[in-house]
Copies of this chain bind each other. A is one copy, B any other.
């Protein structure tokens, strides 16, 4: 291939890898990581008798984030949060994460440092080492791919297909906050420029993957999915995988205060719409038998009972929303899907 042009802002690839390696090793804390960054592969040593979970998620400039909107620390945090949330949705413990990072030659060094700072802060919080990945020069835009590897005891994984008719449907935390914060961010980017550290109350910039809850749910839940594309879309996935239908109760939906505020301030027409279709909340949606006692909070996060699973009926939609006035409204998957309008 034609050689890339000299860079102005980034060091050579080897120097960049070396700088990432030095930062990453500070976060290394696992006896299950035998070999990290620096050879042809990383080597992990899972606990004997455990299974391995693997997930990959792209974070692409101008698709998943925008440099004029998101502080780089938020980009790094969100990139890793996506992967860890998928592990949480299996009930898995993280073993290691890997980052493939493609950068245009003129990416400011400070931006890359900010991205790594946000990513590694979240990694440290969950005691998961950054064990490898790839770096490449991108012709135009930044592309990051996060790979999260977790482990859990054999047959303990909580699959989407595990839901049963009669199961109660629960959700962690609150919904619609991420979509609401994104609206505010798009309207007034300057107000968010200094949010370079993960703090609560920023469901879009700094969503928290619920690993501790996923672990607790291993013995309580029957099926879990994380809400990355929106409740309507992810509940549809759960219904399709299990072969059952769902009825949810509008009055029970935990709507994020930012979504309510967005409706009141005219930023969004409806807080309910944000909660149903907004996406990127990274809350966990799960089912459990109605006889299983589910605590009101898990790992400090409120758990809400939002509906029930049932048998699908011929010519009936998979999801019905029972409105506050008692109407039964069919809900279509209307969250995020690539390659569609």
Contact = CB atoms under 8 A, between A and B. Distances in A.
A10 interface: yes
A45 B56 contact: no
A113 to B, nearest CB: 15
Interface stretch (A84-92, A248-256, A262-270): A84-92
A34 interface: yes
A198 interface: no
A175 B57 CA distance: 35
Interface residues of A, number: 84
A16 B182 CA distance: 27
Contact of A55 (B34, B41, B90): B41
A306 interface: no
Interface in A1-32: 1, 3-7, 10-14, 16
A160 B40 contact: yes
B96 A54 contact: yes
A54 B40 contact: no
A73 B154 CA distance: 37
Residue of A54, A86, A92, A337 contacting most chain B CB atoms (<10 Å): A54
Candidate in A147, A161, A339 with the most chain B CB atoms within 10 angstroms: A339
Contacts of A338: 4, 12-13, 135-137
6 contacts: A7-B339, A10-B339, A46-B46, A60-B102, A60-B136, A141-B141
